[in-house]
Amino acid sequence: MFSNSPNIYSIKAACAEGFSELNAFDVALLKSGVGNTNLVKMSSILPPQCKKKDSIILPPGDLVPVAYAAVTSSVKNELISAAVAIAIPKDKTKNGLIMEYEDKNITKEEAESHVIEMAKWGMEYRNYEIEKIESIAVSHIVKNHGAVFACVVLWWE
């Protein structure tokens, strides 16, 4: 499908309310900068030497590789949370590892702590020494129809 691995990434998170759960999810995608693209959910590998960007301008309608966690709910006052973490190896010839986590009735801090531990465990299992872990999390208390979305977007520079 693609001739080479993506070489840039961005990490984002957002929450939203909407007319329906799907509308709330759509708004969370828009707030995260991926709402006008076709997301291709991928497994959780960050290509070696991929560089972080604060934001990536994505062509409307393109297929976009993304690792993400998301929750929608229509239960009033329900707490929903999503988080992603990226473990970056010290050895720049090795790939990084992206982990995603979402749940209901947990805080943003609990989701983020859990996803960080997942990333650490995955790197330990690979025998990769970690240089750093980047993470982001979001929580939302549902009013009518809510969504949370946390993602790592991969792209080409």
Per-residue pLDDT reduced to its tens digit, 98-115: 999 999 999 999 999 999
Report the C-alpha gap between 120 and 99 in whole angstroms: 9
At residue 157, what is the residue type? E
Q: Is residue 83 part of a domain?
A: yes
Q: How many domains does the chain have?
A: 1
Centre a 10 Å sphere on the Cβ of residue 110 and count the other Cβ atoms it contains: 17
Residue 3 in this model has a pLDDT that exceeds 90:
no
CATH code (residue 110) = 3.50.20.10
Q: Is residue 128 part of a domain?
A: yes
Q: Is residue 66 part of a domain?
A: yes
Residue 116 in this model has a pLDDT that exceeds 60:
yes
Domain limits for position 136? 8-155
Residues carrying an active site annotation = 38, 43-44, 100
- Average pLDDT for the chain: 97
Q: Is residue 108 part of a domain?
A: yes
| Model confidence pLDDT, tens digit, residues 137-157 | 999 999 999 999 999 999 999
Residue for token pair 């080409």: 156
Closest Cα to residue 140, out of 98, 52, 77, 84? 77
Q: Is residue 150 part of a domain?
A: yes
Q: Is residue 1 part of a domain?
A: no
Predicted local confidence at residue 117, as pLDDT: 98
**7 pLDDT band (50/70/90 cuts)?**
very high
| Model confidence pLDDT, tens digit, residues 25-56 | 999 999 999 999 999 999 999 999 999 999 99
Tokens standing for residue 14? 């957002």
Q: Is residue 146 part of a domain?
A: yes
Do residues 9 and 131 make contact, with C-beta atoms less than 8 angstroms apart? no
Going through 90-145 in order, the beta strands assigned E by DSSP cover 96-104, 130-141
Centre a 10 Å sphere on the Cβ of residue 54 and count the other Cβ atoms it contains: 7
Q: Is residue 115 part of a domain?
A: yes
| Model confidence pLDDT, tens digit, residues 51-63 | 999 999 999 999 9
